[in-house]
Structures are given as structure tokens and as C-alpha cells.
A and B are shown apart, each in its own frame.
Chain A
Amino acid sequence: MSDSTNTESGPKTPTGDDWHRHSRRERLARYGAVLGTLVILAVAWRSMEVNYDYVASAPREVGDLVARMYPPDVAYTTEIVGPLIETINISILGTGLAIVLAVPVAFLGAENTSPNRLTYWFGKFIISFTRSVNVIIWALIFVVLFGPGALSGVLAIAVRSVGFTAKLIAEAIEEIDHGQVEAVTATGASTVQTFVYGVVPQIKPAFVSVATFRWDINVRASTIIGFVGAGGIGVALQTNINYFNWSAVLTILIAILGIVLLSEGISAYLRKKVT
């Protein structure tokens, strides 16, 4: 419906002073859609049973909070170095483990390499299931299994990332140019060699960009899994919030902003390097 000039499907009424952008049916459909959206919004709002006093005071409360945060607690900086490093460690190990787990899943979930229909659907199932459960839920589960700490965080990040990573690698595998594989076979190379020369170079760019991209996402995820006890800077953040140490909270938030922007930069640089 992007035709704003509208010459062909123009006015249906012949009288010159009555012009509309759309035909009557289109207009009705539009009004219906807008009305429907408004009704849904109204019903949604009503069902929240919002206390309007809270809503009215929300901007002031948020402003108040920001005011109490400033200035950041500079002295606290030294204490968060450890948790920050742990956060980055969790993101790296989680991503690394995810890749190791994702490779076999990707070969199962790619139509041209999966041994049969059953394994194909099994691969697809792992991909969509691990992707659909949020990292914080995985963290909850792993904290129950392995106790609080970074190990649970690593596993949560890894399992959550398997589906995403495997899906993209599987897509790269499905797009392989079979001619190149065949050419290596024709030289009398063994199966492993054919894989190393015919397949690996073709999926390597996808592999590297998926890994760095996912690592970037995982740095963000590692900052919050501490809320359920799975290690990283999130533990310190939650503690300080519970004790209303707002200036320390701001220090942590700035630190998080720093590592997130840094990881984004590194990941973008690496992806550009490997094409």
C-alpha cells in the first residue's frame, strides 16, 4: 500500500471535489484494523488493573532514582574488576562450548548432511527448543543442578546458544557448492581430506561470523544471569540494588555499557576480517 501517488486505483466517485487515497473497501479495512488495534490496546490496558497513582508517579520515581545514582561511585570501580572479568570469561567459555555442541547438531539439522529424516527432525528439534527457552530460564535450571556460580552460567549460555549457532551453521552447510567437494574427491583424497578441503573452507566464514556475533550477544546475557546466581557482574548488580547503593549501581551500569560496546566493536572487526 505504499503507492502514495495513486493514479490507477484512484477515486471511485466521479464528482471532482470528493477525493480519497483508497477505494471504499480498502478504507473500511484500514479503519477496521486501526479500530481493532485500539480495542486490543484498551482491553490490554484495562486488564493490567494499573494503579494510576503509580503511573503518575513513575516519571518522578525514575527521575529520583537517576538523581540518587549520580555521581557514580568511583571508589567502587576496583571491586567490580573481578566480576567483570568473570562475566567476559563466562561469555567466551559459553560461546566456545556452544560452538563445539552446535557443530554436530548443525550437521544433523542440515538437509544435505543429515543421515536420515529422523536425525534431521531431531536436529531441528534441538535447534528450536534451545532457542525458545530464555537464557535466564536455562540459568535457573543449571543453578539447581550445579549450584550457584559461574559454571552454571557458562552452561546456561552454551545451551541457549546451541540452537542459534547450529541453525546458522546448518544454513551455511545447506548452501555448499557441491562441485568443489566433488573436485577434491576426484583427486583421490580421503573422506576426511575432502571434508577439510571441500567443505571447511566453504563454511568457515559463516562459522566465524556466527561465533563472534553470538559472543557479542552472550556478553550481554552474561551480565544478567547473576540475577539467579549464575555468576558474573549480575550478582554484584543485584546486591547493590537490594541495598540501594545507587551510586555503585551506576558504576556497574557504566562498566557494563563499556564491555558491551567493546565486545560489539571487537565482534564487528573480526567479522570484517574474515570474509
Chain B
Amino acid sequence: MIRVEDLEKVYDSGDRALDGVSMEVGGNEIVAIIGPSGAGKSTFIRCINRLTEPTGGSVWLDETEVTALGGSELKQARRDMGLIHQEFNLIERLTVMENVLSGRLGYMSAWRAFRRDFDAEDISRAREVLDRVGLGGHENNRADELSGGQRQRVGIARAVIQRPKILLVDEPTSALDPETSIEVMDLLTEIAREDDIPVLINIHEVDLAVEYADRIVGLSDGRVVFEGTPEELDEQAKDTIYRGGESREERDAAAEARDANAGGSDDRDDGLPEDVTQRTAREG
């Protein structure tokens, strides 16, 4: 279980990306974080395993305070958190097998890692996991030979083989086409159920979040502005998350007034993804 208390991140540039975010994720629930771009979603995920160092607040993994750990203890804690990346971040020039097994690096010596001398148990498990993500037989392919969807599956396998206590997922579908996105989301849900671990997923496609998540957290300007079930995410909640409380009608009226003044410039900087605009238009 992961518990985040009052997490804060202020970048050197003075940007306040996270402004006191608190939440708890446990069991085998899937929690989706949605919000406009720049709301701090990625920063939040990265602050949990401290790839980005938070400037305030604390993160707890079960009984361990991750934010208080140093050096090797932090590395140990990271083994328990599987991270799946937005751009896959596979080691492009290594084989699929090496990429998956790099998830076990925390458990082996540097010398054995250098010699690619992996445990037989890890290797057989890697084969099993690859089968599970539908990539059986691809272990000797180089990562740069794979398609986007296949790469993300390798990324998932790398996280799963860590036997993590939680999966942190950063925009898993933003580099994929809609069909592959659904396959990847199905796979993540399946893993959460079968391995009985929670998944914290950061996603900009609201419809995917609604379809797959047990709980949705809305982030806006570094603050939690919504928390509830997918059913509770109504138009008003979306307005809160994406437009700072303005309703769509108000927003449009304001925009029209602005356009009239500016001579019809097409300036819609609401940070709202295209598909959400379409959805709300359709439903409204």
C-alpha cells in the first residue's frame, strides 16, 4: 500500500508542480490520475519513487517512509515499485530478455549483471512473464525491432518481474494508437487482479480512465480537485478539473468575447485534450 502525505514539488525555476497532494492506494485497486497537461501528473508519479526529488511532504510504502531513505535503502524501496514509462524507455540496443531481466538488477551483483549471469529462476520467470504479455518467443529480438505496443508490453514485463508491491504507470498509452492502448490497459488490469497489487496510473484520456479505473483522482495546478468513482465524474467534476470550475458554457462565452476583441484569433489554451472536447460536446 502506498500513502502520500502533503507532497510538494517546487522546481528550481520556481514552478510549483505539486502543492500538497495526499492520497492512498492499496489492495488491488486501479487508481487513475487525470488532469490537464501541466497539472503535475508526471511529477507526482516520479516523486513517489523519487526519480524527481520532492521538496516537501512524505511518501510511505507500507511501513517504510520512502522520502526518508538514502542511498542503498532507496534502491531497495525502488525494487518494490514497478514503473512503466510514457516513452517505454527500453534499453534500445539490448534484447527483450535483457530488458525484462533488468527488472531484477536490484537483486544481483554488478559483476554478475555485467556478465549477464542471471538466476535460472529469474530467466524462467522472465519467459513466463513474456508469455503472459503475449511476447513469448521474442526474447532474442532487440528492443528497437519491436512495435510501440510490443515495447510497452516489454516495459510492463520489466516492471512485473520486479514482483513489485505497486505498479506506477506514467501515461502508458500516450505514444500508442487507440487499439493498442486498449490492449495495454486490459493487460494492466489483468495483472493488478492476478498479482493482487494496486496500480497507480496517470492518464490523459478520460474515457480510458472511466472505463478501467476503480477510482479517479483529478489533479489541477498541483492540487487534488476531485476524488471519486468513475460514476461520480460528471460534467461538473470535469469542469472543475479541466477549466478551474468554469462550466463549458461560461468558458465558451468568455472565449467568444475574447475572440471578438482579438479579431477572431483561434486561441484556446485550456489544456484540454482533443478527445475530451469531443466527448463533452457529444454528451452535452
Contacts and interface: CB of A to CB of B under 8 A. Distances in A.
Interface of A: 177, 179-180, 182-190, 192-193, 196-198, 201-202, 204-205
A198 B92 CA distance: 10
Interface in B81-111: 81, 83, 85, 87, 89-94, 98, 102-106, 110
B105 A201 contact: no
Given A193-B110, A193-B113, A187 B103 contact: yes
A167 B94 CA distance: 25
A184 B76 CA distance: 13
* Residue of A177, A192, A197, A201 with highest tally of chain B CB at under 10 A: A197
Given A183-B90, A184-B91, A190 B79 contact: no
Contact of A187 (B87, B93, B102): B102
B89 A202 contact: no
A183 B79 contact: no
B49 interface: yes
Nearest to A178: B89
A190 B110 contact: yes
A188 B78 contact: yes
A197 B91 contact: yes
A179 B103 CA distance: 15
B16 to A, nearest CB: 23
A183 B93 contact: no
B77 A188 contact: yes
B215 interface: no
15 contacts: A177-B92, A179-B89, A180-B90, A183-B85, A183-B102, A187-B103, A187-B104, A187-B158, A188-B76, A188-B79, A189-B106, A190-B106, A197-B94, A197-B98, A201-B91
B183 to A, nearest CB: 21
Interface of B is mostly: helix
A197 B90 contact: no
Contacts of A182: 51, 85, 89
B156 to A, nearest CB: 12
Contact of A197 (B51, B77, B80, B113): B113
Q: Which 8 A-B pairs have the closest CB atoms?
A: A188-B106, A188-B79, A188-B78, A183-B89, A189-B105, A179-B89, A192-B110, A186-B83
Residue in A179, A187, A189, A198 with the greatest tally of chain B CB atoms within 10 Å: A187
A193 B79 CA distance: 14
A136 to B, nearest CB: 38
Nearest to B142: A201
Contacts of B77: 188
A64 to B, nearest CB: 57
A198 B91 contact: yes
B51 A189 contact: no
Interface in B42-84: 49, 51, 72, 75-81, 83
A205 B91 CA distance: 14
Given A187-B83, A188-B76, A202-B92, 6 more contacts: A180-B92, A184-B105, A185-B78, A187-B162, A188-B77, A196-B114
Contacts of B78: 185-188
A191 to B, nearest CB: 9
A184 B93 contact: no
A204 B98 CA distance: 16
Contact of B93 (A179, A186, A204): A204
Nearest to A185: B51
A183 B91 contact: yes
Contacts of A198: 91
Nearest to A179: B89
Contact of B105 (A177, A187, A202): A187
A272 to B, nearest CB: 16
